[in-house]
Structure 1
Amino acid sequence: MSKLNQHEIIPLPTDIGALANRINMSTRKEHDVVNKSVSLKFAVALRDGKIYRQGIQGFYHVFKTVEMLIQQELQSDSKSKIGGILSKFWDERVARTEPLTKDLLYFYNNDPKKFQHPIRKEQIEFVDHIIETYKEKPHILLAYCHVMYLALFAGGKIMNSKLAKATGLFPQVDGQTTEQVSKYGTNLYQFNIEDDQILRASYKRDYELATRHELTEQEKLDIIEESKEIYRRNADMIRGIEKHNREKITNKLSYKVVVYGYYIGILISTFALIFFVRRLINHLF
């Protein structure tokens, strides 16, 4: 695909009626909260592969659930309104379930049982929320199509660059550099096309053209509200990982305190006993 001409760039930033622009303007607060949280936690995750894989595992279940529902809509014999809209802009090249599966297999030593199902409370609740809300309002899928996928285009290259230089994050392979090994665990950010910015621009354009006239105003408002919920629940997942790892560290420290306290207690008791015996002997003799 050749580079898009200026007149093909849709929506323009000044188009206040475009659904994508309305989502962006309405979710600035939620976006900033997640952005700051991700930036801080990402710096920590770069030093610990176990924390990083916990993070992408959460996103894996979100993408997997959303893409399952998208395919359900697209493959339905009786094409629904949402299925019709999706067919006009959805591009399989942006799907992330398969790339994330490759990343997680690498980080979990080819053991899919370690990540096949959501584990943490926040992950389970997020997946349940997507499925239950979709049943009532199938158009909310379009919120995920904007928020989750365009975020990868926007920040994926930056994260990928940082990951490629992160020493100690990736399980090492004999004879390969960190940069070479990193490619096994960064498929999430790879689109395997010549220019992913062209894919991004065409995806945004087709999304806007497909949604502009096909949705009611109430459906658009539902999508905007769900976009806020996506950011909130992403923030919850990140906080859940932070809490889990903090508790692990605390529990390890508590265990050490208990063990060390036990032996220190014995030592103090021994000294006290010796001191008491010495006083008793001195008193008697």
Structure 2
Amino acid sequence: MAQTSGATTKLAQHEAVPAPTDVGALANRINKETRTLHNKIDKMMTLKLALALRDPKIYRQGLQSFYHVFATVERCLTQQINANNEWSDMLNEIWKPEIARTEKCEQDLMFYYDDNREKFEKPIMPEQIEFVNHIVKSVHDKPYLLLAYLHVMYLALFAGGRIMRSSISRATGLFPQKNGLSHEEIVKLGTNFFTFDVADENLLRLVYKRDYELLTRSGLTEEQKLEVIEESKYIFEQNGKCVSELERHNLVRLSRKWSYIAATKGYYVLMALLVLAVVYYVRRLVVHAMF
């Protein structure tokens, strides 16, 4: 039985699953098969987040992109659980209401869009629309593909939620001023997406991972597991496309930022500066020699 004591999580030995060395565990297989894609997206997100945290308009667009994915997944998940089909019980037992992100993300977006829901309610960018439509069609035909999203999208938040909250809270110029509220209160209003309303986030993560493994281990055929792995790859790829789409959409704004120039064209800027420096010193030497 899982127990918590203050901030310390205690699990019985048999509950700490899957073990990192369990090569048959679906979660471990997904991680292995998507490692290259994960590293690529992680590097991309690290750079883009650093830039977005300097511009609230870009940050809220990024948050909006993820909102549509989570909202669609959770809407489809609810439909499948209520459908009373062969996948309903498995999905219901794996799902934990505390990890739902739709309402949390809405709270943040209402904050950043000044309570104007029309600004974010529907996806308007092509890759976001493609992502949402793909989710709806795929899980309607094969409800077990939701398991790819329950692993990739939600465990990513468990892994990075605390780090993200810390990074965002220190961001300069990201938060709008609100009369009568302290900086700490304002930060809390704008970081709901990365907050889980539980006493012990680590315990929630461990129980979630345990139930995911125990229920998928014999509940899926090998062919279905392979399909879940392929869908997981698609999630990483499409997330990358959505991020790149936002970058293109904001290219004019980004191109004015020195941090963006340094990150994307740093090598060429450095070489240009070196050339200018060489020309300058050569010119000085020539002038000195002549006079």
Q: TM-score range by the shorter chain?
A: 0.7 to 0.9
3-state SS in 1 of match to 2:135: helix
- Distance apart, 1:176 and its partner CA: 3.2
Instruction: Quote the RMSD (CA, aligned, Å).
Output: 1.5
- Structure 1 stretches (4+) deviating beyond 2 angstroms? 174-180, 247-251
1:216 and 2:221 matched: yes
1:195 pairs, out of 194, 197, 200, with 200
TM-score by length of 2: 0.83
1:176 pairs, out of 177, 181, 187, with 181
1:230 pairs, out of 225, 235, 245, with 235
1:247 & 1:132 partners in 2: Cα distance? Answer: 35
3-state SS in 1 of match to 2:189: coil
1:17 is aligned to: 24
1:226 & 1:220 partners in 2: Cα distance? Answer: 10
Q: Tell me which amino acid in the other structure corresponds to 1:23.
A: I
- Distance apart, 1:161 and its partner CA: 0.3
Gaps of 5+ in 2: 257-291
1:58 & 1:81 partners in 2: Cα distance? Answer: 31
Counterparts of 1:32-51 in structure 2, within 5 Å, are 32-51=39-58
Q: Please tell me whether Structure 1 or Structure 2 has the larger radius of gyration of its CA atoms.
A: 1
Q: Tell me which amino acid in the other structure corresponds to 2:102.
A: T
2:249 is aligned to: 244
1:133 is aligned to: 138
- Distance apart, 1:247 and its partner CA: 4.5
- Distance apart, 1:172 and its partner CA: 1.2
2:133 & 2:200 partners in 1: Cα distance? Answer: 35
1:45 & 1:179 partners in 2: Cα distance? Answer: 20
1:88 pairs, out of 78, 93, 97, with 93
3-state SS in 2 of match to 1:86: helix
- Distance apart, 1:249 and its partner CA: 6.5
- Distance apart, 1:177 and its partner CA: 3.5
3-state SS in 2 of match to 1:183: helix
Identity of aligned residues (%): 50
